[in-house]
Amino acid sequence: MKRILLIATGGTIASRETGDGLAPGISAEGLLELVPGIEGKVSVRCAELLALDSTNMTPEHWLMIARCVRENFDKYDGFVITHGTDTLAYTAAALSYLIKGSSKPIVLTGAQKPIGFDSTDSKENLRDAFLCAASDMPGVSIVFDHKVILGTRAKKTRSKSFSAFESINYPDLGVIRDGELLRFIRQECGREPEFSDRLDTRVALLKLIPGTDREVLDFLFSRSAAVVIESYGVGGLPESGGFYECVGEWLRRGRFVVLTTQVENEGSDLGVYHVGHRLKRELGVMEAYDMTTEAVIAKLMWILAKTKDPAEVEKLFYTPVAMDMFPR
């Protein structure tokens, strides 16, 4: 019988009604009691790590989760992490870098409705997550609404529906049908995972809107080691307003810039239009291509904790990890 560690962090799945709205209040053991049958198929132990609404999740909490997996890695065959849905994709991406190349399943799941509600997706998501954690599917994934999504490719695309997550620019790893896992893709993994225990959180995100003031970008650069700019379409910056000069100045001062797109699917391509071509040809900004914004941010935090050397940062950024981008 497979040994699975259930790591609870809170979220809607473990929430109860309060006078001020839903708040986490159900323990890991309490979740298991409400989903009979799981412990008959696998041997489960619980780690009550956090009890957070995922809005309150921070990079320090990502490190706590990764540390919990590391300390227990040799004791268990797989891991299930219950988590709120709002920042679930960020945590899944971060764990993909912090626990690189895991040969064991590290499965994140949650719910759109608390487990105590009559109409809830919690129980099916938990059953599916344990099924995947007991399988031979390695690496970090999100299991939600009967889909298995790569940790670096997940994005929450619906705020209320049970089908809350999509895999962006990459196929689902598999699906669960009638209690059986149908695996389409198996992640690559090493014999031993490469654990990391540091992140540089000085990464900022600017969502470009028409009329954005250059001073906003200057402010972000002044407080950050790297800025991710979500531009329009295939990517670029306005030719007026001093944006090009701003980016150039801060690059020369040792900051890092990644251009990505606000469009969920198909990714960026800075070479298409003049507004993007100059950024890559003359300034050498990095480009996210088909990566999710969640993965870009987590990857930069992971990289910048390792090195600040521009050549090394660029090399690591463009080296695919857990299929977070197609090789360039």
Reference 222, options 202, 248, 200; nearest CA is: 202
12 classed as catalytic: yes
Instruction: Give the span between the Cα atoms of 312 and 317, in whole angstroms.
Output: 8
Question: Which residue is catalytic, options 9, 12, 85, 87?
Answer: 12
Please, are residues 211 and 218 in contact by the beta-carbon 8 Å criterion? no
| Residues acting as catalytic residues | 12
